[in-house]
């Protein structure tokens, strides 16, 4: 059977890279025929997770598979990445106190037990750091050559009184990023391609639920949108938020925090750090009157010391991001996907 | 670093095969350093899932990755298997009304879009059949040769008023199986090895939550233990139940339902059907006074028409299964693991 799918006849790497191509795959395949949820926020919203009303509260549910290569990288490993990824997806829905996580591992026949034990210790340590207990799991083994080493899936549940969507932006709202952009992607890129910058570049992978709890406590209802800029980086996250909210975003380039090693790597490689994945950061949309208050709360947390107000929502260029470079304004492209496969 | 792990220095296929070897891996690695849960039933219980008290109820949480090969097999496919597997794990904890499932897919670069769409339709159909809405997902793509086609993870949540553990057996309790044993494993084996019996052998893969709801309605508190006999089959499930409960089980061989094609395949291949995986069956431990009532409820459901009382719990041979063959009694061995890799 030949399919007339715009995604093409075969899946390719870009379909897993978090940008436009992945959104097309989800819309054309995974949402095909899915019922609109009777209640709550579900798959069709393509948010960081789903939210189901339970009594007076919301039960938030999220899942992530992690296929990063290599398994160990500067600043973290696949175990820390999995736990942080799921904790952060819950937090991006407003659910900053995880109730429980599941952890499912698929291993290749011949995988070193010592590496597995090291990853398990990292999972456990990150789970404790985020106060996110892992309560159940699953183990599968595939043959040699049938899977590259190890992949992990974590799913998470948490209750929240209020769901923060990624589509709540209005004209005038401020865009805040909680720290430097692009660290995770460049760190993985450097170690994979043995760049000279390796060692200086460190992944930012961390559970940020505690920091987000502080921001929500400070901003309350005025925090109107959140998303973690993972695959496809800040550019991808902002495009999705702007498009769903029906606003444009004016972004001030010189206010976007970048570490020196990321700045150097970006210039060396000609890769825009705004297209590159973060694993311990968030993008917040905040009503203008609360922006400084939320920023102060972020600065008070060690993971948010570089937080900055980087943009404003506007009523033109709807669904688009305009970058003010200081010398002029240009359209920030939406990435087709993360430049590097298996970044998370 | 050399590890002194009894599991050995490298993971092997048996560690994912559901039997003794997998239990050793979980105990020696995944439970290493895990905190005892403050409340609820968690990882350390190694049950089909975890249960967390929420108000007056329990929130049950479960996860499964599926790596079956081939993706399409007589009687089902990986999509149906994933949804049914997670729905059934919830049901085995007593939670027969799934609140929501997550679905995470990992694809190989080059995977045919038509196959993906076929699997997605199967996921959706099974989700509707089980009244288990899929509310959120995740998509990753790995390079060619880095993963064999497609693997799926599903996690599920459900509330229940009462958790049915797998350790509630007492002396005198009856063991019920809800239908014929070994169908799934032999069907996959036949198609994979192109046996002549292929076609006659059909996987039993199905969501059984509705059937289990009927059994629980009939048996109430007298249904004291449940487990689905997946990897490692009835023998593995019963060993785990008996060991955790501290009883022995006397099993009557001639009462165990087997389909004719499974009987033929088992003889041909010399594989014990009690060691082989099922994907639409359950093992129930029931107080003797309720056994006939529960059996009648199972018979009233299409998926339970071959249900049978197959054994009795006893105060000797603790943790062991004694098979009454009609000619004498012998120990039923606990499988090291499922005979075939990637059965689910």
Residues A267 and A208 in one domain: yes
Dist. CA B315–CA B246, nearest whole Å? 8
Q: Does B35 touch chain A (CB under 8 A)?
A: yes
Non-local CB neighbours of B334 within 8 Å, separated by 6+ positions: B19, B20, B232, B235, B236, B239, B321
Dist. CA B93–CA B225, nearest whole Å? 9
Six token digits for residue A180: 């430097």
Closest CA to A57 of B51, B84, B251, B55: B55
Q: Does A139 touch chain B (CB under 8 A)?
A: yes
Dist. CA A101–CA A238, nearest whole Å? 28
Q: Of the candidates A102, A130, A160, which is a domain's last residue?
A: A160
- State the pTM of this model: 0.95
Residue A41 structural domain: 35-160
A230 phi and psi angles, rounded to 5 deg: -85, -120
Closest CA to A223 of A94, A47, A87: A94
Put simply, the answer to whether B43 touches A139 (Cβ < 8 Å) is no
For residue B83, name the pLDDT band (cuts at 50, 70, 90).
Answer: very high
Put simply, the answer to whether B148 touches A151 (Cβ < 8 Å) is no
A12-21 pLDDT per residue, tens: 998 988 888 8
Q: Does A260 touch chain B (CB under 8 A)?
A: no
For residue A36, name the pLDDT band (cuts at 50, 70, 90).
Answer: low
Closest CA to B228 of B341, B24, B64: B64
Q: What is the pLDDT of residue A2?
A: 43
Residues B151 and B180 in one domain: no
B330-344 pLDDT per residue, tens: 999 988 878 788 999
For residue A35, name the pLDDT band (cuts at 50, 70, 90).
Answer: low
Residue A99 has pLDDT above 90, yes or no: yes
CA distance B84 to chain A (A): 15
CA distance A50 to chain B (A): 6
Residues A150 and A195 in one domain: no
Closest CA to A244 of A342, A168, A155: A168
Residue A8 has pLDDT above 90, yes or no: no
Residues A180 and A306 in one domain: yes
Six token digits for residue A152: 């992990």
CA distance A118 to chain B (A): 10
Put simply, the answer to whether A151 touches B106 (Cβ < 8 Å) is yes
Dist. CA B101–CA A40, nearest whole Å? 14
Dist. CA B70–CA B189, nearest whole Å? 10
Residues A217 and A269 in one domain: yes
Put simply, the answer to whether B151 touches A22 (Cβ < 8 Å) is no
Q: Does A61 touch chain B (CB under 8 A)?
A: yes
Q: Does B32 touch chain A (CB under 8 A)?
A: yes
A22 belongs to a structural domain: no
Residues B113 and B247 in one domain: no
A44 belongs to a structural domain: yes
Dist. CA A143–CA A147, nearest whole Å? 7
Residues A194 and A303 in one domain: yes
Overall average pLDDT of the A286-295 stretch: 98
Burial (CB count within 10 angstroms: exposed 0-12, middle 13-18, buried 19+), residue B170: middle
Please spell the DSSP secondary structure of A271-339, one letter per residue.
--GGGS--SS--EEEE-GGGHHHHHHHHHTSGGGTT-EEEEEEESSSTT-EEEE-SS-EEEEPPPSS-S
Q: Of the candidates A126, A160, A194, which is a domain's last residue?
A: A160
> Could you tell me the sign of the dihedral formed by the alpha carbons of B246, B252, B255, B259, in that order?
positive
Q: What ranges in chain A are assigned the alpha helix state H?
A: 20-25, 78-92, 113-129, 183-192, 209-219, 233-245, 260-269, 291-299
Burial (CB count within 10 angstroms: exposed 0-12, middle 13-18, buried 19+), residue B289: exposed
A145-192 pLDDT per residue, tens: 999 999 999 999 999 999 998 899 999 999 999 999 999 999 999 999
Closest CA to A33 of B100, B225, B126: B126
Of residues A7, A67, A109, nearest to B11 (C-beta): A109
Of residues A13, A33, A114, nearest to B1 (C-beta): A114
B72 phi and psi angles, rounded to 5 deg: -115, 130
Non-local CB neighbours of B268 within 8 Å, separated by 6+ positions: B195, B197
Cα Rg for chain A, rounded, in angstroms? 19
Map tokens 């996907």 to a residue: A337
Structurally, how many domains does chain B consist of?
2
Strand partners, A196: none
For residue B37, name the pLDDT band (cuts at 50, 70, 90).
Answer: low
Residues B180 and B300 in one domain: yes
Residue B34 has pLDDT above 80, yes or no: no
CATH number at residue B265: 3.90.650.10
Q: Which residues of B touch A155 (CB under 8 A)?
A: 61, 63, 102, 104, 153, 155
A218-249 pLDDT per residue, tens: 999 999 999 999 999 999 999 999 999 999 99
Q: Does A70 touch chain B (CB under 8 A)?
A: no
Interface of A with B in 160-179 (CB under 8 A): none
Give CA separation, A88 vs A43, A205, A281, B99, in Å.
18, 10, 9, 22
CATH number at residue A62: 3.30.1330.10
A8 belongs to a structural domain: no
User: What region does A326 belong to: left with phi over 0, alpha with psi -120 to 50, or beta?
Assistant: left
Residues A193 and A309 in one domain: yes
A39-85 pLDDT per residue, tens: 677 777 777 789 999 999 999 999 999 999 999 999 999 999 999 99
Dist. CA B22–CA B236, nearest whole Å? 11
Dist. CA A115–CA A106, nearest whole Å? 14
Q: Which H or E run includes B61?
A: strand B57-66
CA distance A141 to chain B (A): 5
A28 belongs to a structural domain: no
Do the Cβ atoms of B213 and B164 come closer than 8 Å?
Answer: no
Q: What is the pLDDT of residue A27?
A: 83
Do the Cβ atoms of A252 and A324 come closer than 8 Å?
Answer: yes
B159-193 pLDDT per residue, tens: 999 999 889 999 999 999 999 999 999 999 999 98
Residues B267 and B126 in one domain: no
B87 belongs to a structural domain: yes
Dist. CA A71–CA B145, nearest whole Å? 17
Residues B214 and B87 in one domain: no
Of residues A55, A67, A124, nearest to B106 (C-beta): A67
Q: Of the candidates A97, A126, A160, which is a domain's last residue?
A: A160
Q: Does B138 touch chain A (CB under 8 A)?
A: yes
Q: What is the pLDDT of residue B18?
A: 81
A311 belongs to a structural domain: yes
A49 belongs to a structural domain: yes
Q: Does B253 touch chain A (CB under 8 A)?
A: no
A249 belongs to a structural domain: yes
């Amino acid at each position: 059977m030949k399919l007339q799918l715009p995604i093409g006849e075969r899946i390719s790497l870009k379909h897993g890279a978090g940008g436009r191509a992945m959104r097309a795959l989800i819309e054309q395949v995974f949402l095909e025929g899915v019922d609109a949820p009777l209640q709550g926020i579900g798959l069709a919203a393509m948010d960081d997770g789903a939210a189901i009303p339970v009594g007076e509260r919301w039960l938030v549910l999220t899942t992530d598979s992690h296929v990063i290569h290599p398994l160990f990288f500067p600043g973290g490993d696949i175990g820390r990445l999995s736990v942080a990824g799921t904790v952060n997806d819950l937090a991006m829905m407003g659910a900053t106190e995880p109730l429980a996580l599941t952890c499912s591992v698929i291993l290749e026949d011949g995988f070193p037990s010592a590496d597995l034990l090291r990853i398990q210790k990292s999972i456990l340590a990150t789970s404790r750091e985020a106060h996110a207990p892992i309560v159940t799991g699953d183990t599968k083994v595939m043959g040699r050559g049938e899977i590259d080493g190890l992949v992990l899936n974590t799913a998470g549940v948490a209750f929240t009184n209020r769901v923060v969507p990624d589509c709540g932006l209005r004209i005038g709202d401020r865009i805040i990023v909680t720290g430097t952009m692009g660290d995770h992607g460049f760190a993985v890129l450097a170690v994979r391609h043995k760049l000279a910058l390796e060692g200086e570049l460190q992944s930012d992978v961390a559970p940020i639920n505690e920091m987000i709890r502080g921001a929500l406590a400070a901003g309350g209802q005025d925090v109107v949108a959140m998303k973690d800029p993972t695959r496809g980086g800040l550019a991808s996250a902002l495009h999705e938020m702007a498009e769903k909210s029906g606003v444009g975003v004016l972004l001030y380039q010189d206010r976007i925090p970048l570490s020196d090693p990321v700045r150097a790597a970006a210039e060396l490689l000609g890769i825009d750090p705004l297209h590159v994945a973060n694993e311990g950061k968030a993008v917040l949309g905040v009503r203008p009157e609360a922006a400084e208050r939320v920023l102060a709360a972020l600065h008070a947390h060690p993971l948010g010391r570089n937080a900055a107000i980087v943009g404003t929502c506007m009523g033109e260029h709807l669904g688009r991001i305009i970058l003010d470079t200081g010398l002029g304004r240009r359209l920030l492209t939406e990435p087709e996907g993360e430049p590097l496969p298996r970044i998370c």
